[in-house]
């Protein structure tokens, strides 16, 4: 897979996303699919009310279309692995879409219940596991930066479920500022794309760069001030797919580094909730932690840039390790 091919894959995905976005956003606006803002959220976010959401439909559609288009141009694009990735992407996207639809269209503030989401996520994770088990599939986990592995055996399916559910919700928690998740996910998928190139997993590389290109295209509409939000439709799909990618390349725990922003955001919520329940005091002014920085006086743009920088540095470390 040459540099020209890589750039072409990213460019095709970027252009298709931009075209779909230009067509769908006015439609979402006319249908009044606007985001509602939590009363307890930062005051500055109130002005974002009414911005179209469910924008995840833009890049989900683009990724699937791009993969189908590329399958006619390049060899070995639609493999068992990339089909599983698209099933996870679409499956988690559907769960997110149902949640968004119930909140935005049916005007039921809670959307899907936590149990309903969890059941849907588990079903998709189990389906992915059985599809992978149809071929050769290792149940080992590699410790990052070592040659040491741990074989989970029959417990790997439980790990897979935990990993997909955990990261889909982690990315969902992180989606609170214009461009934050779109930018960090571009970096994360690009890192897995480089991993695919290094280890000659070209189907994985192509899919990863397709997603990276789609997220760059989505940033055209999601940068501050955002013209559209990805909603749960996009964030749940991205998180579940990232987790599935790490499993397919057998670098599961490496996602804790590449996805460090999502890990920190989730930990901040866990710390906040635990502290308040045990002591009645809050550690952060608001969680997830990006809201803490907002209430500390940081501009939204500054927070996003800093978090992108953290994501980029975290992604560069394992990439350099593999290349060297």
Q: Residue 172, annotated ligand binder?
A: yes
Tokens of 166: 């955990």
Site of tokens 């189990």 = 126
Tokens of 193: 């794309």
The alpha carbon of 259 is separated from its chain's Cα centroid by a whole number of angstroms, namely 9
Tokens of 214: 């789609």
Tokens of 281: 């005091």
* Number of Cβ within a 10 Å radius of residue 321: 12
Instruction: Concatenate the DSSP letters of all residues of 261-298 into one string.
Output: HHHHHHHHHHHHHHHHHHHS--SSSSSSHHHHHHHTT-
Spatial CA neighbour of 52 closest among 30, 36, 28, 31: 28
Phi, psi of 109 (to 5 degrees): -55, -30
How far CA 64 is from CA of 70, 95, 116, 239, 282, in Å, comes to: 10, 17, 26, 17, 43
Enumerate the known binding-site residues for Mg(2+): 172, 232
């Amino acid at each position: 897979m040459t540099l020209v091919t890589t750039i072409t894959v990213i460019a095709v995905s970027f252009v298709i996303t931009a075209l779909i976005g230009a067509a769908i956003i006015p439609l979402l606006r006319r249908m009044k699919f606007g985001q509602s803002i939590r009363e307890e959220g930062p005051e500055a976010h109130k002005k974002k009310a009414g911005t179209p959401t469910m924008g995840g439909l833009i890049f989900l559609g683009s990724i699937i279309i791009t993969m189908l288009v590329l399958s006619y141009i390049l060899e070995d694009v639609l493999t068992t692995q990339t089909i599983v990735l698209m099933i996870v992407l679409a499956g988690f996207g559907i769960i997110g879409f149902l949640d968004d639809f119930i909140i935005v269209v049916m005007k039921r503030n809670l959307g899907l219940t936590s149990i309903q989401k969890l059941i849907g996520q588990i079903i998709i994770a189990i389906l992915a596991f059985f599809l992978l088990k149809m071929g050769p599939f290792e149940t080992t986990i590699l410790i990052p930066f070592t040659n040491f592995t741990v074989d989970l055996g029959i417990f790997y399916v439980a790990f897979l479920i935990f990993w997909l559910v955990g990261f889909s919700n982690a990315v969902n928690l992180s989606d609170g500022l214009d461009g934050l998740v779109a930018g960090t996910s571009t970096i994360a998928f690009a890192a897995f794309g480089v991993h695919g190139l290094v280890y000659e997993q070209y189907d994985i590389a192509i899919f990863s760069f397709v997603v990276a290109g789609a997220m760059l295209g989505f940033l055209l509409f999601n940068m501050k001030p955002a013209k559209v939000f990805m909603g749960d439709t996009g964030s749940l799909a991205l998180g579940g797919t990232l987790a599935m990618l790490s499993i397919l390349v057998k670098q599961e725990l490496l996602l804790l580094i590449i996805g460090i922003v999502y890990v920190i955001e989730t930990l901040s919520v866990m710390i906040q909730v635990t502290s308040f329940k045990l002591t009645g005091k809050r550690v952060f002014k608001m969680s997830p932690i990006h809201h803490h920085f907002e209430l500390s006086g940081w501009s939204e743009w500054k927070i996003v840039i800093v978090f992108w920088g953290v994501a980029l540095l975290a992604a560069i470390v394992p990439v350099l390790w593999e290349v060297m």
